[in-house]
Amino acid sequence: MKKVIYALLLFCAACTSNSTEEEPAPTNPTEKKLFNVPSNFPKPVYTSEEFPITEAGFALGRALFYDGRLSRDGTISCGECHRQEYAFTHHQHDVSHGIDNQLGERNAPSVQNMAWRKEFFWDGSVQSLDLVPITAIESPIEMGEKMGNVLEKLRKIDKYPPLFEKAYGSKEITQERFLNALSQFVQTLTSSNSKYDKVMRNEGATFTADEAAGFELFKQKCQSCHAGELFTDQSYRNNGLAIDVTREVVVNGKIETKRFYDEGRYRVTKQDKDRFKFKVPSLRNVGVTRPYMHDGRFWILEDVLDHYTERMTDNGIVDEVLKTEGKAGLKLSHDEKMKIIAFLHTLTDRNLLLDPKFSEQ
Condensed to tens digits (0 to 9), the pLDDT of residues 52-82 reads 899 999 999 999 999 999 999 999 999 999 9
**pLDDT tens profile 124-148:** 999 999 999 999 999 999 999 999 9
Cβ-based neighbours of 151, under 8 Å, separated by 6 or more: 173, 174, 175, 178
For every residue of 198-259, DSSP letters joined together read HHHTTSS----HHHHHHHHHHHHHTTTTS-TTTT----EE-----SEEEEEEEETTEEEEEE
- Mean pLDDT along residues 22-46: 67
* Superfamily in which the 55-190 domain is placed by CATH: Cytochrome c-like domain (1.10.760.10)
Q: Which of 13, 34, 26 shows the shortest CA–CA distance to 190?
A: 34
343 vs 334: CA distance, rounded Å: 15
Q: Please answer whether residues 126 and 136 qualify as being in contact, where contact means their C-beta atoms are separated by less than 8 angstroms.
A: no
- Size (the chain), residues: 361
Calculate the average pLDDT of the chain: 88
Q: What is the pLDDT of residue 284?
A: 98
Domain spans, the chain = 55-190, 195-351
Whether residue 16 has pLDDT greater than 60? no
At residue 255, the pLDDT reads: 76
Whether pLDDT at 297 is above 60: yes
Please state the pTM of the whole predicted model.
0.86
Cis peptide before 44 (omega within 30 of 0): no
Homologous superfamily of 195-351 in CATH?
A: Cytochrome c-like domain (1.10.760.10)
Identify the pLDDT of residue 253.
Answer: 66
Distance CA 70, CA 233 (A): 32
Q: What is the pLDDT of residue 27?
A: 39
Give the pLDDT of residue 55: 96
**Is residue 302 over pLDDT 80?**
yes
Q: What is the pLDDT of residue 280?
A: 97
Q: How confident is the model at residue 51 (pLDDT cuts 50, 70, 90)?
A: confident
Distance of CA 330 to the CA centre of its chain: 27
pLDDT tens digits for range 303-315: 999 999 999 988 7
55-190 with 195-351: one CATH topology?
Answer: yes
pLDDT digits (tens, 9 = 90+) for 340-361: 999 999 999 999 999 999 999 8
* pLDDT confidence of residue 5: 39
pLDDT band at 10 (very low <50, low <70, confident <90, very high): very low
Q: Which of 6-20, 92-106, 323-337 has the highest mean pLDDT?
A: 323-337
pLDDT tens digits along 152-205: 999 999 999 999 999 999 999 999 999 999 999 999 999 999 999 999 999 999
